[in-house]
Structure 1
Amino acid sequence: MNLLRSRFAQAVLILIVAFVVLKFGIRPAAPWSVLTLYMAIVLLAVLVFVSSDSDSWRDFVWPIHATLVDPNRRLARLVFLIVLPLLFGYYAYTQAAAKPQAPPELRAVHPAPPASIQFRGKEIQITGLDNPLRKDQASYKKHVAAGAEIYIRNCMYCHGDNLDGRGHFAHGFNPPPANFQDPGTIAMLQEAFLFWRIAKGGPGLPKESTPWNSVMPAWEDRLTEEQTWQVIMYLYDATGQHPRRWEEGH
């Protein structure tokens, strides 16, 4: 019991109890960085506690001082001189040593579209398909305006009001929403590709697009065929991009 009256023993006991509680008493387990932060806070609180007055501080440092200078504790000093470097060396080794990892999986950002898809019970041939609304040039502005309304109502929250992939919810997704302003996105794709991606969303992606599938929902249940083509027209019009033509892919 006299040992527990020692400020040093009390401090060590508090640190041990705090570590056990934080390490094993929290579910799900806290990350190591969080555990280290909390232990640093506990250590700071313990130091404040043991240094509250001169007698308490003297009682705390006495075992440390005695271990370092007392001739009768030479064996303890020798043990510390051997054990502490070994512990620090082992910790450094475990942090620097290569850890076994699963082989990386290559992910296709723009996977090849299927030859055809089912859209609301109708089979649509994707290969060689052009946007049918572009044939009606007299209604071009009307279709773009309708597409803008659809985009603002459904797509802006993720893809952003500037179509740059920085919408309100974008930071919560991995991979992030597509940046349509980037010339490496829709400018490299046929409009039929966008139709497929919008209609089927993330659930319609093939296996080569895993393990980070798109979180975009399948819009075929919410948008008609015409509305899907309209929002595609708006994407190209608003960004100043031009869709890739099928003959350019050969």
Structure 2
Amino acid sequence: MKRYLSHPFWQGAIVIVVSYVAFEWVIGYVLPVIGVASAPVPSSVILQYMLTVLVGIVLYMSADEARWKSFKKPIHETMVASDRKTLRGILMVALPVLIGWLAYQNVRPSYAAPATLRSVHPAPPNQLTFRGETIELTGLENPLHEEGSIEEHLAVGKRIYVRNCVPCHGDLLDGQGHYAPAFNPVPADFTSSGNLPQLTESYVFWRIVKGGPGLPREGTPWDSAMPAWETILEQDEIWATILYLYDQTGFTPRTWEEEGEGGHE
């Protein structure tokens, strides 16, 4: 065992396996168990991460000539050594079968029962906690309307959105970011009249603060990588981002008077 652990090839193989386990299961399922807010990583993102890991392994191994030769040796021997004919034969059969099976899994029709209908805008709680602070959502207004310069708040909101939200929600705020196709449901389209105009700013604040992990049961299924932004952003940064969303889309947030008349759908 020690001989394998000290060999560059098997070290690289172990890194690949550990990385995949971390991306596939630890981030999405283990961290929430120990109290760390997280969500499953979409398969397309896992693929990109794994390619990054693979490139990193190759760069590291090839940085030293002796290590690179040692890393390549098992691969070369498997391909040309006379005593590896059986292994080559197994690989020549197993690899095409594996690739074919994966391709079939991606295209085969599904006969699963229809998914339970989800609520697009599930009812919010009356209050939430933000890093230990209890915040009453009922009647809550965006405090930045009454504080400082709106232009400065919008600049902060733009910076936060571009830095954190564009990959999923898109630079046009239309939910068509680079990672959008991997999500179920797809990221919210802020340009749609069915989203921001139907919501109070406090509702949007709740959704950003708690992210995917904070959705109530009626909001599932939810295969989104949207984090609970309370672990990353300050309250004022979230409120500034909300101002930016409404400013860029030209929508007006739902008021509490309207909320009392109709409620969320």
Count of residue correspondences: 168
**Structure index of larger Rg:** 1
The amino acid across from 2:247 in the alignment is D
2:117 counterpart residue number: 106
2:130 counterpart residue number: 119
SS of the counterpart of 1:168? Answer: coil
How far did residue 174 of structure 1 move?
2.1
For the aligned residue pairs, the C-alpha RMSD in angstroms reads: 2.8
SS of the counterpart of 1:114? Answer: coil
2:144 counterpart residue number: 133
- CA distance in structure 2 between the partners assigned to 1:176 and 1:208 by the alignment: 17
Do structure 1's residue 215 and structure 2's residue 236 form an aligned pair? no
2:206 counterpart residue number: 196
Distance change in 2, residues 1:248/1:106 (3 Å): same
Deviating more after overlay: 160-169 vs 112-121: 160-169
Question: TM-score of the superposition, structure 1-length normalised?
Answer: 0.61
Residues 137-178 of structure 1: CA deviation (Å, up to 9, x unaligned) = x61111111111111111111111111111122122221111
SS of the counterpart of 1:123? Answer: strand
Deviating more after overlay: 102-111 vs 159-168: 102-111
| C-alpha contact (below 8 Å) 1:205/1:213 kept by paired residues | no
The amino acid across from 1:215 in the alignment is A
How far did residue 31 of structure 1 move?
4.7
The one of the two structures with greater contact order (alpha-carbon pairs below 8 A, sep at least 6) is: 2
2:168 counterpart residue number: 158
- CA distance in structure 2 between the partners assigned to 1:35 and 1:232 by the alignment: 40
Distance change in 2, residues 1:184/1:221 (3 Å): same
- CA distance in structure 2 between the partners assigned to 1:134 and 1:227 by the alignment: 13
The amino acid across from 1:217 in the alignment is P
- CA distance in structure 2 between the partners assigned to 1:163 and 1:188 by the alignment: 16
- CA distance in structure 2 between the partners assigned to 1:25 and 1:236 by the alignment: 52
| C-alpha contact (below 8 Å) 2:156/2:241 kept by paired residues | yes
1:29 counterpart residue number: 101
Distance change in 2, residues 1:104/1:175 (3 Å): closer
Q: Structure 1: give runs of 5+ residues left out of the alignment.
A: 1-20, 37-94
- CA distance in structure 2 between the partners assigned to 1:101 and 1:35 by the alignment: 14
Question: TM-score of the superposition, structure 2-length normalised?
Answer: 0.57
